[in-house]
Structure 1
């Protein structure tokens, strides 16, 4: 009821409650009508799909779930487990708006790979091991010649060397391979380490890591080989450990690894870049697939993962400093970076799992980190024709070469592809 008193209006509590009730009722009616329309649209759909709409101003994504009623009951049950109400999702799940770069497809890689590794030495790219399938791992190196754009010069790795999740770096001639996973599926890690002389293609043993790690950040900085983080022996727990050992010409100058200051946040699959007096560790994740308990083949089982875009810099005083994070969380980028014009370029990778399907989301962007301003840019980027999962990149003569590209699923690799773009970031 509204009462008039000296020309002014007042409201009773009952009126306010009634008004709110009416508003809620109207919302419920509209929601019911919308649900009816959605249901009708869904029943007429002949395919099962997820429609994603990105609101780039609000950095949110709306997902609409459309289902096919002709699917069998078993599929319906599985679908119900995956289904979430329509709503707003984090912008992580949509590509950032930016101009698309032109890509040229190159000679296909000799074999498909997942979780392999690579290093560039002059005009050659050395691609190491990795999964062929979840039940098969490679034990060889393929070499790509950037000059004539061909593959060749394949040779084997040591029998005792890890097959995936390697810690890897080079001084321009020698390649240091540290720890990693030995075998297919989700088998255990090895602490063994080796050095490759790329001129003679001969391998030598190297002091083993104090404890084994999966995919630790690895880089040579100020005359010492640094190994940082990775996943611990159970494959899931992030390690913060940091060791170093003096090296020169493919030899360890010390008998044991030295313990260094731990990184603030642990985990595997990070880019590790040395620039003059600073060491940068970029992106990564906490958690990973684990072997299924009791499985005789160490069958991989999904576990909770947190992908992040954290950036840490180690200075001359051996102190870690946290820098601005990447534009979106990014992992599997240990071999997906190049240095160009005072910038670190990160291409592809993986981000957080899709909230509906729980499948891995592949990153289609190119991110640039300005080493002078410590700012990230995504205005010069590549919308990859096939988003990258643990891809291989080579920088030379103002070009970035993407090799041995990935897949839509971490378990099932596609045939290897090679793509190239040329240009310089502004």
Structure 2
């Protein structure tokens, strides 16, 4: 066999091989850069640099580039990441919210949806409440929150008049959490203090159940480590009946961004994730830095307050759904969210399905699709209409990665 070293390689082939090597180095470097860039708006696919295209004789209209331009992510995603088959729903757009919100909070009291806090941008957070009237389909009021209250990643629950707001992140970017807790009287619009949590948390599962305010999981003080803690506080008519939170049975799996629902006198925790963005070490503004996240679709029910019972999981892993649910008849409806990141680009994949959890059979189904994929939606239900507002939508039908933060309000007639 003749040794390759004895014959000179043709000039054009040498250039092509050199370009391929350069492209490989650039691709590796690009992936390293992607993994270290926080909350970026990276294109989901790559392009060959113009110089390399020219060197290999492809030019700007290369076959490789054209092929990449026409790749639609949903077509190439496996069942974990792809859109699920869903019936068609007719959506109607309502007046947009006065402010754009990401990671805000919401509760519904009768025909009013109270929308709290949230990011306006990564460097700006809201500290007020907007109210949407389902009867008039209009935004009807606005008032301030306490300055010491968290601005995002709140735990929140309501009893028909009083809103209990616990812990969360205070400030923009990836700032530290607060253990402070408050209660709002929606009739007088006055705020009062509640006992602080034993430790601050980001986006814990929170709900009122059998006379006690339950706070579970979330992320710990570093914003990343999942918490398994479960605390409760006896409350009535907006007032604490105890001075300290009581320790309850730990949840089986920790982490933030889950739905926490009481239905048919049972407490459910749905979906969520382990891990989250962290503050970049040494950053004076607590700049967010990307970290590994694991999204899951686990569902748990607190059986008689003594043990956790695992129920059938969601049709796909789903997170960022803490206020994206409503209870309708004998069902829990969950809309939107985020699923596992796409393994090639490491980009977040948004969810556009509307899920139904049947409380009588404990089974899941997909009952429709949203106008676009969206995370951290704030949901409500009134007179047969399912509403959602605010959050971060996708970049288009063929790109499920995060795009614009919006204040849109949409509704659809729900027939179950």
TM-score (norm 1): 0.79
Cα distance in 1 for partners of 2:402, 2:281 equals 19
Cα deviation for residue 71 of structure 1 reads 4.4
Any idea what SS the aligned residue of 2:169 has? coil
Cα contact 1:309–1:330 (8 A) shared by 2: yes
Q: Based on CA coordinates, which of the two structures has the bigger radius of gyration?
A: 1
Query: Any runs of at least 4 consecutive aligned residues in structure 1 with deviations exceeding 6 A, and if so which?
Result: 409-412
For the pair 1:222 / 2:193, whether they are aligned, the reply is no
How far off is 1:355 after superposition? 1.6
Provide the secondary structure at the position in 2 that maps to 1:417: strand
Which residue does 1:386 correspond to in 2? 372
Q: Can you list the C-alpha shifts for 1:274-325, whole angstroms capped at 9, x where unaligned?
A: 1233210000000000000111100000000000000000011521000000
Instruction: Note if 1:397 corresponds to 2:383.
Output: yes
Give 1:283's aligned residue. 271
- Alignment match, 1:58: none
Output one character per residue of 1:102-139: Cα deviation in whole Å (capped at 9) or x when no partner. 11011011111100000000000000000000000000
Shift of 1:405: 4.0
**Equivalent in 139, 142, 154 of residue 142 of structure 2:** 154
Aligned match for 2:405, one of 400, 408, 414? 414
Q: How much is the aligned-residue C-alpha RMSD, in angstroms?
A: 2.4
Q: Could you report, residue by residue, the CA deviation over 1:144-187 in whole angstroms, capped at 9, with x for unpaired residues?
A: 01111111210000010000000001001000000000000000
- Please tell me whether residue 140 in structure 1 is matched to residue 128 in structure 2: yes
How many residues align structurally?
Answer: 352
**Counterpart Cα distance in 2 of 1:423 and 1:229:** 32
Partners of 1:187 and 1:267 lie apart in 2 by 17
- Go from structure 1 to structure 2 and tell me whether the alpha carbon gap of 1:72 and 1:123 turns closer, same or farther (over 3 Å shift): farther
| Matches for 1:239-388 after TM superposition, within 5 Å | 239-378=227-366, 380-381=367-368, 383-388=369-374
State the Cα distance separating 1:92 from its structure 2 match: 2.0
Deviation per CA, 1:328-360, whole angstroms, max 9, x where unpaired? 001111101111120101111111112222221
TM-score (norm 2): 0.81
**CA–CA distance in 2 between the matches of 1:147 and 1:362?**
30
The 1:281–1:415 alpha-carbon spacing in structure 2 relative to 1, beyond 3 Å, is closer
Change (3 A) 1:195 1:88: same
Q: 1:377-400 CA distances to partner (integer Å, 9 max, x unpaired)? A: 11x22x222211100111111210
Look up the match of 1:11. Answer: none
Structure with bigger RCO (C-alpha 8 Å, 6+ apart) = 2
| 2:415 alignment counterpart | 424
Alignment match, 2:9 = none
Q: Distance in 2 between matches of 1:244 and 1:255?
A: 11
Matches of 1:366 and 1:188, distance apart in 2: 33
C-alpha change, 1:115 and 1:66, in structure 2 (3 Å) is: closer
Question: Which 10-residue stretch deviates more, 390-399 or 410-419?
Answer: 410-419
Q: Quote the Cα distance in structure 2 between the aligned partners of 1:374 and 1:153.
A: 38
Q: Distance in 2 between matches of 1:69 and 1:252?
A: 62
